[in-house]
Amino acid sequence: MTEEKRHFNRFFHDAKTQLDVNGECFEGQLLDISLKGCLIDLPDNWPDTGPEQTVNITVLLAETITISGQATLSHIHPGHRAGFTFDSMDLDSITNLRRLVELNLGDSQILERELNALVGA
């Protein structure tokens, strides 16, 4: 039996994503997200990239609300699902991600603990 080692709560969230890999754009589907990263259902035409590939990701939460940032491909699952670790984001994206996490957690103490873990990571 495997032991869960996650430090950040993940939330299932269905949203379209845009992925930019070396100047080539792809559309994917967000499956879940946390303060540290996300899991995306990749398109069938996703290039054969190895781990540690840098990708610019934009998650379209609403018409004018996005989470955009640079991420690193950490792993690919069978069935075109890939995990990404966020490396950097602009202030608006960080604010939008924090608000999304806050709404899903419903507990400000847990949010503060995760933010402290993120700063220490």
CATH number at residue 22: 2.40.10.220
| Structural domain span for residue 55 | 11-120
Residue 75 maps to a domain? yes
pLDDT in tens, 60-118: 998 889 999 999 999 888 778 999 999 999 999 998 998 888 877 776 666 677 666 66
If pLDDT is split at 50, 70 and 90, which confidence band does 17 have? very high
Looking at the domain assignment, is residue 2 inside a domain?
A: no
Q: DSSP character for 78?
A: T
With respect to residue 74, please indicate whether it lies within any of the assigned structural domains. yes
Distance of CA 79 to CAs 40, 43, 82, 83, 107, Å?
11, 10, 9, 12, 34
Pairing of strands 66-77, 81-89: antiparallel
Residue 90 lies in a domain: yes
What predicted TM-score, i.e. pTM, was given to this entire model?
0.82
Say how many domains are in the chain.
1
> Is residue 1 in some structural domain?
no
